[in-house]
Structure 1
Amino acid sequence: MSNFLKGTGVALATPFSADNSIDFNGLTNLIEHCINGGVEYLVVLGTTAESATLSKEEKIQLIAHVIKVNNDRLPLVLGIGGNNTAAVIEEMQNTDLSSFSAILSVVPMYNRPTQEGILAHYKEINAATSLPILLYNVPSRTGVNMTAETTLKLANLDNIIGIKEAVGDFTQVLKIIKDKPKDFLVISGDDTLALPAVAAGGAGVISVVGQGIPKEFSNTIRLGLAGKTDQAFSELYKIMPLIDYAFAEGNPAGIKSILKQQGVCDDHVRLPLVAASDKLSKTIQNFMTTLSI
């Protein structure tokens, strides 16, 4: 049932115009760039989308635009998360989810719940929808780590089909893969560790860099899933510097610079984020020229 989430999903950035409004033409270009590059699915309103800076109306407009442009070509996953459990459930129940195949819901941030609190939060969300749910653990942003033990407890709930794991601790990833239910998907949230995770039994990645170089990145993950490990790592090593550059000055500043180099969209971001420096943008440009991307 959840095979559509194997391979490379991309956490779409939100292109902005110079006046800070959403650049819908740029968003169209980005979606086409990803689809033509061979990614397996699209993730809407994740962290990379700068969703924290989008108004409710902008989110509605953005969702509608992605659905229209995608036109049922790829599965869509929608990010709905937060640190107010009741508000997350309300948003889920008041959003038309008919075009989405799953929900991606992040561990509550800022108020730093205990593991029991995280369990209770996701149990409430699980009970409030029939749509498949992906957990999302990203301690560097939330301020709290959902442990492997907590993830494995949640893996047995009816609607929870997997996790986007961005803990940065590969031992934790391995613990989940080792003891997870057979059909539970362990999806990397770390572009550099995605291929090692696949080699260990993971299902793929929800990627940032994958939207910048969709063909190269998604092919690397497919090679890994096909067991062609040596070839996959050879391809990864070629593009690995670009992954470092993408995050050198924060996300999505780096990926927007990569997209600008390819004429997909401009590199504007909303405060408190700022665009990539001239130095980093030049480094990205030189690297991509070397790779002929």
Structure 2
Amino acid sequence: MQSLIGTGVALATPFKNDLSIDTEALINIVNYSINGGVEYLVILGTTAENATLTKDEKEHVIKTIVEANKGRLPMVLGVGGNNTSEVVEELKTRDLSQFVAILSISPYYNKPSQEGIYQHFKAISEASPIPVILYNVPSRTGSNVLPSTVIRLANDFENIVAVKEAAGDMIQALQLLKDKPKDFLVLSGDDMIALPMVLAGGSGVISVIAQGFPKEFSEMIRLGLNRKVDDAFKLQYLFSDCIDMIFEQGNPVGIKQVFQSLGLSENKVRLPLVHSNESLAKRIDLFVEKINKSI
């Protein structure tokens, strides 16, 4: 799965002032990310606000991104949920021929045991016609997929090829990196520790901030993969403050303020999220202005 090494972007869904999908802005964000040098696109991850998208809107987002991409970059599709049978049914009925993998979140709200998580992904693995990336994000799901469970799944199912590890715990990440099978990929799902994870043996990141600063962030990850540590950390420290800011009031609230500062889209989110307050908006605007002047 060489196509998953480097920087993938978890694409947000831009909205107009009336909160309908802004198709033109979505196309612009896709092109901005591709032209900035990211390695692949992730469609309908949690950053896409897919919890508040209708079925028809999700299909529209997929169609728009696929057509905008025009085959330029590999694409990963988010296919997950907390109803195992429903996820399995989608995998059996959806045309996945244009995607290199699915990204599947650990069940949320149900808070299953580690054995329940294992059985959930076992069912997904057996149903999926393409490779599977596990997604561990305890802050959203309410349960942590332990390294032992990830490694068990990686060893038992050939098409489970990677994990997006977003627990924000470097010790847990190191455990995964130490024990993983040789060709299994550990991808950071946390922008702040993406570089340290890469330097410890990780294969890259599925990033939020990279769609706002694709050139610089993807270059940081490439420098890390090539062990150019000093140059990589210069970029890490340049963006550390902004990484904190974009998650300060919820995701994708912050990255949408970056988009507005860049002129890519409006900072509009759907309830229960609300747009960034004036203080955060000003701080992000100042950061974007500073970056544009210095790079």
What interval of TM-score do these two structures reach, taking the shorter chain for normalisation? over 0.9
Deviations 1:260-279 (A, max 9, x none): 10011111101110011111
Q: Number of aligned residue pairs: give it.
A: 292
Contact 2:81 2:87 in 1 (8 A): yes
- Please name the residue that 2:160 is paired with: 160
Hey, what's the Cα distance between the residues in 2 that align with 1:15 and 1:36? 19
Q: Which amino acid aligns with 1:165?
A: E
Hey, what's the Cα distance between the residues in 2 that align with 1:129 and 1:92? 6
Q: How does 1:147-226 map to 2 (within 5 A)?
A: 147-156=146-155, 157-226=157-226
- Please name the residue that 1:231 is paired with: 231
Q: CA deviation at 1:94?
A: 2.0
Hey, what's the Cα distance between the residues in 2 that align with 1:94 and 1:30? 29
- Please name the residue that 2:240 is paired with: 240
Hey, what's the Cα distance between the residues in 2 that align with 1:74 and 1:82? 26
Q: CA deviation at 1:78?
A: 0.2
- Please name the residue that 2:10 is paired with: 11
Contact 2:262 2:288 in 1 (8 A): no
TM-score (normalizing by structure 2): 0.98
- Please name the residue that 1:102 is paired with: 101
Contact 2:136 2:167 in 1 (8 A): yes
Q: Which amino acid aligns with 1:164?
A: K
Q: CA deviation at 1:161?
A: 0.2
Deviations 1:230-268 (A, max 9, x none): 110111101111101111111000000001100111111
Q: Which amino acid aligns with 2:228?
A: K
Q: Which runs of 5+ in 2 are unaligned?
A: none
- Please name the residue that 2:57 is paired with: 58
Q: How does 1:130-149 map to 2 (within 5 A)?
A: 130-149=129-148
Q: CA deviation at 1:292?
A: 2.0
Hey, what's the Cα distance between the residues in 1 that align with 2:68 and 2:195? 30
- SS of 1:192's partner is helix
- Please name the residue that 2:86 is paired with: 87
Deviations 1:14-53 (A, max 9, x none): 0001111100000001001100100000000000000000
Hey, what's the Cα distance between the residues in 2 that align with 1:81 and 1:128? 12
Q: Which amino acid aligns with 2:28?
A: N
Deviations 1:125-179 (A, max 9, x none): 1001220000000000000000000000011111100000001111110011001
- SS of 1:292's partner is helix
Q: Which runs of 4+ in 1 moved over 3 A?
A: none
Hey, what's the Cα distance between the residues in 2 that align with 1:24 and 1:38? 22
- SS of 1:155's partner is helix
Q: Which runs of 5+ in 1 are unaligned?
A: none
- Please name the residue that 2:31 is paired with: 32
- SS of 2:275's partner is coil
Q: More helix by proportion, 1 or 2?
A: 2
Hey, what's the Cα distance between the residues in 2 that align with 1:218 and 1:169? 22
Q: Which amino acid aligns with 1:79?
A: G
- SS of 2:108's partner is coil
Hey, what's the Cα distance between the residues in 2 that align with 1:291 and 1:35? 19
- Please name the residue that 2:263 is paired with: 263
Q: CA deviation at 1:291?
A: 2.0
TM-score (normalizing by structure 1): 0.98
- Please name the residue that 1:251 is paired with: 251
Hey, what's the Cα distance between the residues in 2 that align with 1:130 and 1:268? 35
- SS of 1:183's partner is coil
Deviations 1:76-101 (A, max 9, x none): 00001000000001112222111111
Hey, what's the Cα distance between the residues in 2 that align with 1:226 and 1:82? 36
CA RMSD, 1 decimal: 0.8
Hey, what's the Cα distance between the residues in 1 that align with 2:92 and 2:57? 18
Contact 2:11 2:208 in 1 (8 A): yes
- Please name the residue that 1:279 is paired with: 279
